[in-house]
Structure 1
Amino acid sequence: MIIRKLALATSMAALLAFSAAAASAEMVLNRGIGATIGTLDPHINFLAWEGWILDDAYEGLVANDAGGAVIPGAAEKWDISDDGLTYTFHLRDGLKWSNGDALKAQNFVDGIVRTIDPATASDKAYIFTSTIRVAGAQDFVDGKSKDAKSVGISAPDDKTVVLKLAAPAPHALFVLGSFYAPPLHKPSLEKFGKDFIKPGNIVSNGAYILTENVPQSHVTLEKNPNYWDAANVKIDKVVYRVTEDDSTAVKLWRAGELDATADIPTAQIDALKSEFADQVHISPSTETNYMSFNITKPPFDNIKLRQALSMAIDRDTLVNKVVKAGYVVNYGYAVPIPGYDAPKVAEATMSKEDRIAKAKALYAEAGFGPDKPVSLTIESSNNDVYKKQAETVAVMWKQVLGVDAKVNAQDRDGWLAAFNAGGWDVFNDNLIGDFPGPETYLAYMDPRAEVGYHWKNPAFEAAFDKAMPLTDQKERWKVLAEAEKALLDDYLVAPIASSPNRHLVASKIKGWVDNPADVHATRFMSISQ
């Protein structure tokens, strides 16, 4: 009897120990992030997948909930003046940086100033001069003023941030989260320079702290005990895994080594849907896809050639029979949204026969034909969808016009480097909107934003400027449609489609909510055991 009691006691102790260990087991989320990871400098990064990492490491004045809606972030509340020009944010009590330093209002001022400082050379500077027009920001970006205090963002005290706009922006809160307006821990930047974002150096204010960044392998973040809402953050660690390609990511997901993928290969979607049903997440997005023409480089400075190339694309075949996978034909630049009467390129209403005849006529008027074909290269990423899209367009241009079109498909870093170098002919392009609405797309294409297209169009600028002071959404969007029409009439781009978000998400992941902006902060998720 004594032996049996001892054995029972030992078994009970072991069971309790096991239960305690299970209860305290580290909860780790493994997320796929594509083939490469670019800069994680929070004031420079302009790429969506890296934005997921930065959303975990930083928090803006506002945040996005699991479904993408704007919610209070570091600021617990805010006031907007009656004229829509002044936003006053009130920070939460006791905010801290990850190293325990007090987080102050000035840190958010410093973050925006660093983003628009010409010395930073951030691709996001246009957000504060075009998407929302912060008072004094354009002069600061242009170097007309070198005084940061001339910019319309200030901290009258440690808990208050005041943002002054030059024109109302009903969408302003969408761009004051961690992706565009993270705070800056100046002591880290001053001590480490560009290395202030490296593990061991980085000081951030989000739900997680960056602890590893292994090139071509992974980035690891661990729960930040100094985050104001740390008690409600359930996942202890999130690992962003770099994968060779989307097919590799699917294999890792099947093996349980990934909990969520960044994308899904289009050719595998139907089979995966049959096998995994609701673990296949395909939903509308804010991403627009298009071909951009380098108007600084002959012969693409000829609008008739650009129009001919656009008209030679059979979008119905390209999108609905080749690409498929949830893509939707779009004859405009902005992703369609209810209430916005979006303009379209001229060929949108043409029959196939009329479209092809017009394309051939314009090609001839531009000075080209069978004896003098255009030779061009389409720069594309090697993502399976974009590569397939570029190769199909190249074939269509050859068949309809006799164009000698080649495709240069490369990894994302090479593709982006090609754009920035400026010598490209045609760029297989895309833009993910920051929110549903034309402002986010047209602000990016505003010639004064100068993001790399070197395009000037007084009609666009006049319409865009006319729209900015308008607070009535119907009237504002009506005028913005005039700006988009000027863009489309110039054929700077040949619009193709609006794309979906595509992910494999394991059923054990709770709190993942599909949303158009594709934001998925880890702090809202948990893992069922």
Structure 2
Amino acid sequence: MPAFFPTLRGATICLLAACAVLGGCERGSDKPVVVDLIGRQEELARPQPGNVSIVSRTFLGATAQGLLSFDARGEIVGGVAESWIVTDDGQSYIFRLKQLNWSDGKPVRADEVAKLLQARFKAAPDLLGGLQPQVRAMTDRVIEIRIDTAVPSFIQLLASQRLPLLKAAPFVGSGPYGATIRLQRAYLTPLPDGLDPESADASPERDRDRRTLEVARASLALVRFQRGQTDLVLGGRYQDLPLLGVAGIREASIRADPVSGLFGLLLSGNSPLLKDATIRAAINSAVDRGAIASAFNVSGWTIAERLLPAQLDLAGSPTAPVWSGQDIAQRRATARAAVAEWVSKNGDAPVLKIALPPESGSRLLYRRIASDLADIGLSLQFQLDTRGADLVLIDEVAPFDSAHWYIGRLACKSGPGCDPESLARLADARAAGDAASQARLMAQAEALVVGQDNFIPLGTPIRWSLVARRLTGFQPSPRGVHPLNQLLPLPN
């Protein structure tokens, strides 16, 4: 999947003079790597396992690695586990743990890992796509995870940064870093096992192996990067895209992640308008995805009309909406007629409320969606709070490449257009005894979810970072994960 790339047009604030005053915009290659995370400061002070924010995920991923991890390329590597096998039926995963210590010096034991991992699963049902894994310790260094149905991509889920193995507060993990937080910064130092084992002379005393994490709003993070005060900015999303042009960031510094997932609008609430299936389809068809890409000035961004990005583990291609293949003028004409008919029967259509984040990119998205809906006779109102909203943004990277996650995320039993039969079909698919039956039943569940018309897909999630030239180990990731211990090349 090609990554998007911003085309930086518009006003530019030139900060090059400031860089010159500071002695250049690139930090020395032997200095600790400074990372700015776009988010809220309290997320660093009180990071929560299972939290989807870049701040919690990055901090806990660095200090409390999971059973598995993703490397810089998005490939699965060992975390606490050193090796693993999958049984022939695809439902049992057996892991041998490394001989590691927690950051408090106590040895990592399988029974602790099993309890922690089971607790993480229980706390993050949205991550699992309806799967119900069970974990048990087999020996002091071996654990087994069993799932209720064979899902080959399940191994990807186990590398999620939302499954950190955190034994106790404050921050008793197994690395690869230990952390000290002071003055609203996190100072990370490699634990003995935290550096690449191929680096024979690896020493936690070297400055280049240390990391400093700070949290800032996007505008401040961009200014700090432009001034050479930070090496890496993580956590860029669609809502901050307009700032790249305003700050005059060099295109060579911007790295986009080719992630998959859900980026679109979920219909919710109790509006009588949205209870009408024809109206839900009209709203979905009236949105001009290409115009949204133009509004953000991004090229290469993959727009979406279908729920799934590919066939994955369905029996056939993802279901296309009934209006797929029609041009926008045809779609709008049909949608306009549907709205006019509803109004003739029910009176004036109520104003729909859309909940989006507060940043400037959300205003662009709101204006674009509002214009599309106005063209078919509907009004839209912007709000920050999801309570009482009729359209709520979903912006999530898929934790594993399976229809289980996409369908499980959107199948529902209440709300506008929800068809409980989709949940039943999904349950049938999980209970199926063979892959062909599972794929067939999964396809039926997917078709039912698409037929609900209660989710408006817009495109792939947008994830971007700013990267200094010294970080030659940084690579765009299909998982949106960037290990802090793989940013610099190993010394010769």
Match of 1:109 in 2: 114
Give CA-to-partner distance per residue, 1:452-505, whole Å, 9 cap, x none.
x79853442244234436798787556534323222211111111113432221
What is the aligned counterpart of 2:307 among 333, 340, 346? 333
What is the aligned counterpart of 1:258 among 230, 234, 241? 230
Match of 1:373 in 2: 349
Distance 1:454 1:68, change over 3 A: farther
1:139-218 mapped onto 2 (5 Å cutoff)? 152-177=134-159, 179-185=161-167, 188=168, 196=169, 201-212=170-181, 218=185
What is the aligned counterpart of 2:292 among 309, 318, 325? 318
Match of 2:20 in 1: none
Match of 1:304 in 2: 278
Aligned residue type for 1:320? S
Whole-angstrom CA distance in 1 between matches of 2:311 and 2:229: 37
The answer to whether the 8 A contact 1:337-1:436 is kept is no
Aligned residue type for 1:390? Y
Match of 1:223 in 2: 190
State the SS of the aligned residue for 2:252: helix
The answer to whether the 8 A contact 1:34-1:244 is kept is yes
RMSD, matched Cα? 3.4
Distance 1:484 1:85, change over 3 A: same
The answer to whether the 8 A contact 1:508-1:527 is kept is no
Whole-angstrom CA distance in 2 between matches of 1:131 and 1:369: 40
Whole-angstrom CA distance in 1 between matches of 2:354 and 2:345: 20
Match of 1:391 in 2: 367
1:129-528 mapped onto 2 (5 Å cutoff)? 130-134=129-133, 152-177=134-159, 179-185=161-167, 188=168, 196=169, 201-212=170-181, 218-225=185-192, 227=194, 232=202, 235-245=208-218, 247-262=219-234, 263=236, 265-267=240-242, 276-322=250-296, 324-336=298-310, 341-367=317-343, 372-401=348-377, 403-409=378-384, 418-419=385-386, 422-447=387-412, 456-468=418-430, 479-526=441-488
Whole-angstrom CA distance in 2 between matches of 1:248 and 1:54: 23
Match of 1:88 in 2: 94
Whole-angstrom CA distance in 1 between matches of 2:282 and 2:329: 14
- Unmatched segments (≥5 aa) in structure 1: 1-23, 135-151, 189-195, 410-417
Shift of 1:321: 4.7
Aligned residue type for 2:88? D
Distance 1:472 1:525, change over 3 A: farther
Give CA-to-partner distance per residue, 1:114-164, whole Å, 9 cap, x none.
2355xxxx3x13445x35332xxxxxxxxxxxxxxxxx3111221011112
The answer to whether the 8 A contact 2:188-2:212 is kept is yes
Q: What is the identity percentage for the equivalent residue pairs of Structure 1 and Structure 2? A: 17
State the SS of the aligned residue for 1:51: helix
Shift of 1:283: 4.0
The answer to whether the 8 A contact 1:55-1:179 is kept is yes
The answer to whether the 8 A contact 2:68-2:158 is kept is yes
Match of 1:75 in 2: 81
What is the aligned counterpart of 2:68 among 62, 70, 73? 62
Distance 1:338 1:106, change over 3 A: closer
More helix by share: 1
493-502 vs 224-233, which deviates more? 224-233
Q: Tell me: higher relative CO, structure 1 or 2? Use CA pairs within 8 A at least 6 residues apart.
A: 2
- Unmatched segments (≥5 aa) in structure 2: 1-27
State the SS of the aligned residue for 2:175: coil
232-241 vs 70-79, which deviates more? 232-241
Whole-angstrom CA distance in 2 between matches of 1:474 and 1:516: 27
Whole-angstrom CA distance in 2 between matches of 1:329 and 1:339: 21
What is the aligned counterpart of 1:36 among 36, 40, 44? 40
The answer to whether the 8 A contact 2:257-2:479 is kept is no
Aligned residue type for 1:243? A
Whole-angstrom CA distance in 1 between matches of 2:405 and 2:489: 34
Distance 1:29 1:381, change over 3 A: same
Aligned residue type for 2:176? A
The answer to whether the 8 A contact 2:38-2:54 is kept is no
Distance 1:397 1:369, change over 3 A: farther
Match of 2:17 in 1: none
Distance 1:241 1:458, change over 3 A: same
Aligned residue type for 1:133? Q
Distance 1:106 1:177, change over 3 A: farther
Larger radius of gyration: 1
